[in-house]
Chains A and B, each alone.
Chain A
C-alpha cells in the first residue's frame, strides 16, 4: 500500500469513529491504533489479575462466613474481568502467551495500586470502597469506547463492579460503628489507601502525554483531572457519613466551584511505585510468576489428556 492510500484509509477510519461506529477485529485499523489498544487492554487485564493478590490475602481470615463468600465472589469476579479483557486483547492479533510473558518479564505494567500491602481486615473494606470506586469512575466511560470487543468486555465488567464497591463500604460502615479500636482500624486504612487511590487516575493533565489521541479513539472521554475531581466529590461525603477523616488537610468544599478543593499528590511516590519500587512490586510479580510456573505441569497434563481422548475417538471411528 502506498503512503497516500494508507492516509486515505486512516481518514475513513477516523471518520467512522467520529460517527460513533465501532471497530471490529477484522476491520482495517492503523497500526498505532492496534498497538495502543493492545497496550491499554493488556495493562487493564494484568491489573485485574494482579489485583486478586492483595485481597486473596484475606480470604482465609475473613471475620465471618458472610464476609468470606462475598470476598471470594469478588476475587473470582476480578479473575473473570482479567479473562474477558485478555480475550478482547487477543482479537488484536497477540497471543495469550505473549501477554503473560510481557507481564511476567516485567515489560508490561499493571495498576500501581496493587503494589500496596493489605495489612488489616479494614484494608479489604477500603479497597472495595476506594479502589473499586476509582476503578468504576475510570471504567464506565470505556463502555462506549471505539473498539467493539473492549467495549463489550467493559459493559460486563461495569455491571459487576457495583457489588464490589458496596461490599467494601459495608465493611467500613460496620467497623466505624464498632468498637473504638475497629473505628481506628478503618481510619488507618483510609489514611493508607486515600493517596494511592487518588493516583489511580494517572498524572495531572499538564503532565499526561497521549490524552488527545485517546480522546479521539474514545479510550478516554474525560481527562485524568476531571475524573479525579469526580472521585473526590463523590467520596468525601461518604467519608463524612462513616465519621472518618480523609488524610488531606487541604480538602474543603468550594461553594463557588461546586467542587471540593484538595491537596497536591506526592508524584515522587507515584513514579517510584510505577518504576517498580513500591512496597510490594517484587512480591506481586513473583507470586504471579510462581503461579504460572508451578501450574505448568497441570496445563501440560490437560493437553496430554485431551490429545489421548482425541486419539481414542479417532481409533474407534477407524
Chain B
C-alpha cells in the first residue's frame, strides 16, 4: 500500500464574486483532510470563503516546450481586437 500522503493543489475564492485562484499545494491522506489542511495553511487571515482541492496527479498541463505552436498564433490576429477597426470620430460609444 502507498504510505505517503498524496499531493493536492489548493484553489481559494477570496470573496464571492471572484473566481477560485491557485494558492499552492499540500499533502493529505484524502480530500476531506486536504480541505481541512488547506483551511489551516492558506486561510488563517480571512483569505478565503471557499476552497477547492484536487489531487495534483489529476491535472493535465500544457508543456512549455510547445508554447510556440500553442500561443504564438494569437499574436498576429490583430483583427480580434477593437482597435483594428477604423471608425470616424463622430461615432461615439463604440
Contact = CB atoms under 8 A, between A and B. Distances in A.
Interface in B16-62: 24-27, 29-30, 33, 40-41, 44-45, 61
A299 B5 CA distance: 8
A27 interface: yes
Interface residues on B, range: 20 to 34
A10 interface: no
B65 interface: yes
A28 B66 CA distance: 12
A217 B7 CA distance: 28
Interface residues on A, range: 20 to 34
A306 B64 CA distance: 34
Given A299-B5, A303-B1, A87 B24 contact: yes
Interface of A: 24, 26-28, 73, 76-77, 80, 83-84, 87-88, 90, 95-97, 152-153, 160, 299-300, 302-307, 309-310
B3 interface: yes
Contacts of A83: 26, 41
Contacts of A160: 45
A28 B65 contact: yes
Contact of A77 (B1, B5, B26, B44): B44
A27 B1 contact: no
Interface of B: 1-5, 7, 24-27, 29-30, 33, 40-41, 44-45, 61, 63-65
A281 to B, nearest CB: 27
Nearest to A310: B30
Given A27-B64, A28-B64, A76-B44, A97 B4 contact: yes
Contacts of A305: 29-30
24 contacts: A24-B64, A26-B63, A26-B64, A27-B64, A76-B40, A80-B40, A80-B44, A87-B7, A87-B24, A87-B25, A87-B26, A96-B4, A152-B24, A160-B45, A299-B3, A299-B5, A299-B29, A302-B29, A302-B33, A303-B4, A303-B29, A305-B29, A306-B29, A309-B30
Given A26-B63, A90-B25, A95-B4, 16 more contacts: A24-B64, A27-B64, A77-B44, A80-B44, A83-B41, A87-B7, A87-B25, A96-B7, A302-B33, A303-B1, A303-B2, A303-B4, A305-B30, A306-B29, A306-B30, A309-B30
A306 B28 CA distance: 10
A160 B61 CA distance: 31
Contacts of A302: 5, 29-30, 33
A302 B41 CA distance: 19
